[in-house]
Structure 1
Amino acid sequence: MDDTERLAAYDAFAADARAELARTDERMSELRAAGKVKTATYRQLFAARLTLKEIDRRLVEHGL
């Protein structure tokens, strides 16, 4: 894999992570609106969102 392919792979990873973060935020908003913030699903999404936000922060930090 050359540098161009590696950069494309990193860009694809960044886009996927950000899309997943947006879907997670949307699903959490739906659950919050339904008053289901104490459910296991909401808590799992909360943990996933923390991880995705950290990934996004690191990608931004590295210019991706």
Structure 2
Amino acid sequence: MAYARDVEKLAAYDAFAADVRSELEDVTTRMTELKGAGRVKTATYRQLFATRITLKDIDRRLSERGL
């Protein structure tokens, strides 16, 4: 049944969107903690910064499509 597969796909996209937003929130929190500790020049902070940019772009694209 095509309808059942469509429902499964939509559920998978919704789960993906939720995971992306949760990870984005976690990354942002970690960055805030590092910034508060004066550790903005560390490799960890820079990696989190790059990850945040990627997650923000994915979130933006999902939002544009109503997910």
Identity %: 69
1:21 and 2:20 are equivalent in the alignment: no
Structure 2 CA distance for aligned equivalents of residues 14 and 35 of structure 1: 31
Q: Give 5+ residue unaligned stretches, structure 2.
A: none
- Segments of structure 1 that go 5 or more residues without pairing to the other structure are none
- Cα root mean square deviation, aligned: 0.8
- Where has structure 1 moved over 3 Å in runs of 4 or more? none
The CA distance in 2 between the partners of 1:12 and 1:63, in whole Å, is 13
Instruction: Name the larger-Rg structure.
Output: 2
TM-score (norm 1): 0.98
Structure 2 residue corresponding to 1:58, chosen from 41, 57, 61: 61
Q: Which amino acid counterpart does residue 8 of structure 1 have in structure 2?
A: A
Task: State the Cα distance separating 1:20 from its structure 2 match.
Answer: 0.0
User: Which residue identity lines up with residue 33 of structure 2 in the other structure?
Assistant: E
Q: Within 1, Cα distance between the matches of 2:39 and 2:15? A: 33
TM-score, length-normalised on structure 2? 0.94
For 1:47, the aligned partner's letter is A
What amino acid is the match of 2:21? R
- Amino acid of the structure 2 residue aligned with 1:22: E
Q: How many residues align?
A: 64
- For 1:3, what is the secondary structure of its paired residue? helix
